[in-house]
Amino acid sequence: MSAQPILEMRSITKEFPGVKALSEVTLTVMPAEIHAICGENGAGKSTLMKVLSGVYPHGTYTGEIYFRGEEVQFKDIRASEAAGIAIIHQELALIPELSITENIFLGNEIAKRGRIDWAEAKIRALDLLARVGLEEDPDTQIKHLGVGKQQLVEIAKALAKDVKLLILDEPTAALNEDDSEHLLDLIRGLKGKGITSIMISHKLNEIEEIADEITIIRDGHTIETLDVKAGGVDEDRIIRGMVGRSLESRFPDRTPHIGDVFFEVKDWTIQHPQVPERLVAKGSSFNVRRGEIVGLAGLMGAGRTELAMSIFGRSYGNYLAGTIVKDGKEIVLKDVESAIEHGLAYVSEDRKQLGLNLLDTIKRSIVAAKLSKISKRGVVDDSQEFGIAEEYRKQLRIKTPSVDVGVSKLSGGNQQKVVLAKWMFTDPDLLILDEPTRGIDVGAKYEIYTIIQALAAQGKGVILISSELPELLGIADRIYTVFEGQITDNIPASEANPEALMRSMTSAKKKANA
Amino acid sequence: MSTASTPASPQKKGGLSDIRKVFGGGQSSLRQFGILGSLIVIILIFQIWTDGLTLSPTNLINVVNQYSYILILSIGMVMVIIMGHIDLSVGSVAAFTGIVVAKAMAEWNMPWPLAILLGLAVGIAIGAWQGFWVAFVGVPAFIVTLAGMLVFRGGNQFIGQSTTTPVPQEFSFIGAGYLPELSVPLDFNVLTMLLGLAGAAWIVWNEIHLRRTQKKLGSEMAPVWVSVVKVVVLAGVILWAAWLFATGRPGTSFPISGIILVVLVIVYSFITNNTIFGRHIYAVGGNRLAATLSGVKDRRVDFFVMMNMSVLAALAGMIFVARSTASGPQDGNGWELDAIAAVFIGGAAVSGGIGTVIGSIVGGLVMAFLNNGLQLIGAGADVVQIIKGLVLLLAVAVDVWSKRQGGASIFGIWSNRRKARLESQGPTEPPAVAPTNVSNESSQPADLPR
């Protein structure tokens, strides 16, 4: 093996308005190796790969990229593909209605003077399918393939472009164990044929098994590069690198007053809405006490949001089994309306898609989830609505000249306060907050924490879903960890530490002992 | 305007934004302001062009009689479009209802009040049918109503055997009737004037009520002169219009179909603005997922909005049949397009979530006066169609363009430019951001300076 690296990214800095996503990041990848990139959600892994593949064109970042010994300046994805870099995204970019052959050569058609040579394309497709170990008729439509096989088609598509460097973003996130194993074998096989791979994954056991080198990114900085072959690298070592940061006093002080268990979910099992064989929640059981803030920790795709939404009036997936007990009585929440009536509130992680009608004004948004409270015989009382909105504006310090302003005008933090107000207005007993501080600045975060703590102080139960471990450790009283749809641990926050949480979030070794 | 000579400052919120408040300065009415301006300009242009014929009593009565059914359709259509759907079947539904009602009266000797109820029942049934496919099966409304357009057009011709069926004289009053003359020795129609007075009184009362509520809640109030100007202008327009209607040809006054229209506008404005159902329409149209996660039963809203449209189409069909004293195989051809055009000219968004009943009525009036004015100056149907098409395209293009500029309307852009110019003249002043000047349209969130 030559000592010349195939890829070198030097002091890459990428800024978004208000955020420095990457700061002086360095990445060196040797030829024909499998290089893993590890980091928490939001550490900057995907951003780095987007810089590399030209999604963020040259000029929108600073720093240099050397590929196969030459400096490259990609202006779009096509340019990076032409150089031999292919990226396979978490969300597959295949067209379901087209056949395998058509997908493999999409944008790269085998044509003479604009006429596609289908015979040649099919022969080449068969050859590529053999290389990725997929025994399927190349005329099969993509929609008839499972996710695992689709992943292989994606790789075949990359190979068709004569790829030198393959980037895989969470390739096994959606796969079952067999398919994952097959995929990892394939990546190893490609390595044997001289193809370099960069792999982003949250599954540390896989990384430990397959990677030659591991680069750890945290908060937009390169922390270290570990050489797996040299030995001494295990999951604990990786986790330490990923979370090793001090907890600053970013959280308001609070003395919790925790009452009795009032909300309990038992053996909750939910099917994926499109893929019935996938269970997004597998017999999950958990409980919440009055006045308690319960954290739900898990990596992306672990099934936290799915679990929360399925409880909130079955707004996600197909219900298979499980019961909900509230205040000692079993309740059945068939739709969102009944969930709201039973005192549940769900603040979505996706404020703009699921939380707010961005065309609406602040006051109308605040009362939207419980119009009946300010209505008589179906007629909404405007002046009451205004008064209530004003109250919440003052109480939550929503920064706006008037509650008649459209919510689209507000900053992320203030929009989030409107969403919180909307759900506080429904008088919930249990609030499920899904990533309530995502995408908002530090000052606003502090205010949101204060609101959450005030809600708990009123004796309400709070479930806090968060990808930020410091946030969970700083705010929650107790933390459940979720891994692949299962609850893997239940730790009082005072006894929890990031390493232990990360371990439970990345493997199902430990079982919950509720 | 005086603000041109004085430097803009954050404290001064007078001038443009106050003038806009004269027309009810809320977020959504901003868009309508531009359309209302266009309507006034169009009417004035034709008024001059036709030597005062446009605003003559006879012509106004004519416009109401001729376009009331399109305006009624646009009330239902705007709700459908806010939901993100479309209804192509309204013309056929109107025609189908017309022939059923005509046959019922002509062949079964059904009394006309009963026939009207039958017509509404037909509308409900058709609406339930179309609503079912849209809401509970999930077929796109475009397809369902395209099918409905064919089915009910065919249904009309099947029942009527592709010939016209006359309706009895008594029935025609809902389409061609007028407010009756009272035996009072005055040379104008007293009922029409009373109606006008009632309207003016309502405007005054409404403004007083609004100011009282605002004062009670301590919310931002427009200056008194704004309220006074607003009331005087609106009440003046209403009384003047009433006077025109009341002093037309003997035997004519404000048409019954116009009264039906006014009642429907009031009722549906109330429904869309002040009821839970109305809020749900905007909520689902604006963001269906967020609405569902707030406990709104979106399918139920889909169903009733589609159903409501067909009921209004049935009503429009009956008014048309009454006016033309017969139901024919080509009734209501192309109405759907006129109604849809009216709604979009009136500021509704193709993607749903935006639109108002009043806006659509103003949009419909733009089309009506354009049509009418062009006919008065002797333009042929060909030219009228070309111009109508171009106006629709232009109106929506200006809207799309202004959205991209971050302005709410032509007026918004104009005032923003002015502001920019004023700022550049007074470089020491901080930027003036009057909340009412900010557009509602940009989806980019921004921090508001406080």
pLDDT tens digits, one per residue of A393-420: 999 988 888 888 889 888 788 899 999 9
A300 contacts: CB under 8 Å, gap ≥ 6:
A41, A170, A173, A202, A467
Predicted local distance difference test score (pLDDT) of residue A441? 67
Among B342, B340, B349, smallest CA distance to B369 is for: B342
CB A207 within 8 A of CB A214: yes
Residues 376-435 (A) with a CB less than 8 A from some CB of B: 378-380, 382-383, 386-387, 390, 399-402, 404-406, 408-412, 414-415, 422
- Residues in B lying within 8 Å of A, measured between beta carbons: 26-27, 213, 216-220, 274-277, 279, 282-283, 286-287, 289-295, 297, 353-354, 435, 438, 440, 442-448, 450
CB A474 within 8 A of CB A451: no
In angstroms, the CA A130 to CA A124 distance is: 10
Are the Cβ atoms of A383 and B216 closer than 8 angstroms? yes
Given B274, B292, B440, which is nearest A315 (Cβ)? B292
In angstroms, the CA A461 to CA A265 distance is: 13
Helix, strand, or coil (residue A248): coil
Which residue(s) pair with A479 in the sheet? Answer: A295, A491
CB A224 within 8 A of CB A202: no
Given A353, A404, A409, which is nearest B446 (Cβ)? A409
Are the Cβ atoms of B435 and A315 closer than 8 angstroms? no
In angstroms, the CA A294 to CA A303 distance is: 16
Is residue B399 classed exposed, middle or buried when 0-12, 13-18 and 19+ CB atoms within 10 A define those classes?
buried
Q: What are phi and psi of A298, to 5 degrees?
A: 180, 155
Band of the pLDDT at B30, cuts 50, 70, 90?
A: low
Predicted local distance difference test score (pLDDT) of residue A392? 93
Are the Cβ atoms of B295 and A359 closer than 8 angstroms? no
Given A359, A372, A415, which is nearest B353 (Cβ)? A359
Token pair, residue A313, equals 């009036």
Tell how strand A111-112 and strand A115-116 pair up: antiparallel
Are the Cβ atoms of B450 and A401 closer than 8 angstroms? yes
Predicted local distance difference test score (pLDDT) of residue B140? 95
Residue B378 zone, left/alpha/beta (φ > 0; ψ -120 to 50; rest)? left
Which residue(s) pair with A20 in the sheet? Answer: A15
CA distance B418 to chain A (A): 21
Predicted local distance difference test score (pLDDT) of residue B7? 36
Name the segment(s) of chain A with CATH classification 3.40.50.300: 7-243, 250-343+429-437+460-514
Q: What are the extents of the domains in chain B?
A: 21-177+275-418, 179-254
In angstroms, the CA B344 to CA B351 distance is: 11
CA distance A356 to chain B (A): 6
CB A21 within 8 A of CB A220: yes
Among A63, A23, A441, smallest CA distance to A219 is for: A23
Are the Cβ atoms of A336 and B217 closer than 8 angstroms? no
| Mean pLDDT, range A28-56, rounded to an integer | 87
CB A195 within 8 A of CB A164: yes
pLDDT tens-digit readout, A236-290: 788 888 776 544 557 888 888 899 999 999 999 998 888 788 888 889 999 999 9
Are the Cβ atoms of B448 and A401 closer than 8 angstroms? yes
- Judge whether residue B409 has pLDDT over 60: no
Among A86, A51, A39, smallest CA distance to A201 is for: A39
pLDDT tens-digit readout, B423-432: 444 333 333 3
A172, HSE (Cβ side, Cα atoms, 13 Å)? 23
In angstroms, the CA A158 to CA A196 distance is: 12
Best of B81, B273, B280, B294 to substitute, by most chain A Cβ atoms within 10 angstroms, is: B294
Q: What are phi and psi of A106, to 5 degrees?
A: -65, 125
Predicted local distance difference test score (pLDDT) of residue B449? 34
Predicted local distance difference test score (pLDDT) of residue B45? 92
| Mean pLDDT, range B1-11, rounded to an integer | 36
Host H or E run for residue A7: strand A7-16
Token pair, residue A407, equals 């919510």
Best of B277, B293, B356, B436 to substitute, by most chain A Cβ atoms within 10 angstroms, is: B293
Tokens 């919510």 belong to A407
Band of the pLDDT at A96, cuts 50, 70, 90?
A: confident
Predicted local distance difference test score (pLDDT) of residue B253? 85
- Whether the CA torsion A489, A494, A499, A502 is positive or negative: it is positive
Predicted local distance difference test score (pLDDT) of residue A509? 55
The neighbour count for residue A377, using CB atoms within 10 Å, is 6
Kindly list the residues from chain A whose CB atom is less than 8 angstroms away from the CB atom of residue B218. 390
Band of the pLDDT at B27, cuts 50, 70, 90?
A: very low
Predicted local distance difference test score (pLDDT) of residue B443? 34
- Judge whether residue B98 has pLDDT over 90: yes
Token pair, residue A254, equals 């609070």
pLDDT tens-digit readout, B160-180: 898 899 888 888 888 888 888
Band of the pLDDT at B404, cuts 50, 70, 90?
A: low
Helix, strand, or coil (residue A376): strand
CA distance B34 to chain A (A): 19
Alpha helices (H) along A300-430: 304-311, 336-341, 362-367, 382-396, 412-424
Among B345, B260, B248, B312, smallest CA distance to B80 is for: B312
In angstroms, the CA A131 to CA A483 distance is: 32
Predicted local distance difference test score (pLDDT) of residue B425? 41
- Judge whether residue B272 has pLDDT over 90: yes
B43 contacts: CB under 8 Å, gap ≥ 6:
B54, B55, B369, B373
Token pair, residue B87, equals 């209804």
Band of the pLDDT at B52, cuts 50, 70, 90?
A: confident
Q: What is the CA radius of gyration of chain B?
A: 23
Given B294, B446, B450, which is nearest A368 (Cβ)? B294
Q: Picking from A250-259, A452-461, B413-422, B424-433, which range would have the lowest pLDDT averaged per residue?
A: B424-433
Tokens 């629709």 belong to B392
CA distance A291 to chain B (A): 24
Q: What is the CA radius of gyration of chain A?
A: 25
In angstroms, the CA A5 to CA B201 distance is: 84
Predicted local distance difference test score (pLDDT) of residue B343? 94
Kindly list the residues from chain A whose CB atom is less than 8 angstroms away from the CB atom of residue B290. 348, 353-357
Tell how strand A165-169 and strand A196-200 pair up: parallel
Give the E-state strand segments of A58-161 in sequence order: 62-67, 70-72, 85-88, 111-112, 115-116
The residue among B394 and B218 whose pLDDT is bigger is B394
Alpha carbon distances (Å) from B432 to A113, B323, B409, B436: 59, 55, 19, 11
In chain A, whose CA is at the least distance from the CA of B442? A408
Among B196, B206, B204, B205, smallest CA distance to B238 is for: B196
In angstroms, the CA B260 to CA B315 distance is: 10
The answer to whether residue A118 neighbours chain B at the CB level (below 8 Å) is: no
Residue A463 zone, left/alpha/beta (φ > 0; ψ -120 to 50; rest)? beta
CATH number of A250-343+429-437+460-514: 3.40.50.300
What's the CATH number of domain B21-177+275-418, 3.30.70, 2.60.40, 1.20.1630, 1.10.3470?
1.10.3470
B254, HSE (Cβ side, Cα atoms, 13 Å)? 21
CATH topology of domain A7-243: Rossmann fold (3.40.50)
Among A308, A397, A287, smallest CA distance to A354 is for: A308
Look up residue B169 and give its amino acid: Q
Q: Picking from A215-229, B109-123, B394-408, which range would have the lowest pLDDT averaged per residue?
A: B394-408
pLDDT tens-digit readout, B333-345: 989 999 999 999 9
CA distance B27 to chain A (A): 8
The neighbour count for residue B400, using CB atoms within 10 Å, is 13
Are the Cβ atoms of A404 and B274 closer than 8 angstroms? no
CA distance A334 to chain B (A): 11
Helix, strand, or coil (residue A461): strand
What is the predicted ipTM?
0.75
Is residue A81 classed exposed, middle or buried when 0-12, 13-18 and 19+ CB atoms within 10 A define those classes?
buried
Kindly list the residues from chain B whose CB atom is less than 8 angstroms away from the CB atom of residue A410. 445-448
Among A122, A121, A104, A176, smallest CA distance to A147 is for: A176
The helix/strand count (H/E) of chain B reads as 17, 2
Band of the pLDDT at B416, cuts 50, 70, 90?
A: very low
Helix, strand, or coil (residue A24): strand
Predicted local distance difference test score (pLDDT) of residue B439? 36
Are the Cβ atoms of B445 and A368 closer than 8 angstroms? no
Is residue A468 classed exposed, middle or buried when 0-12, 13-18 and 19+ CB atoms within 10 A define those classes?
middle
CA B370 to chain centre: 15
Look up residue B256 and give its amino acid: I
Which residue(s) pair with A288 in the sheet? Answer: A263
Angle CA(B305)–CA(B308)–CA(B309) in degrees, nearest 5?
Answer: 90
The answer to whether residue A345 neighbours chain B at the CB level (below 8 Å) is: no
DSSP string, B288-299: HHHHHTTT--HH
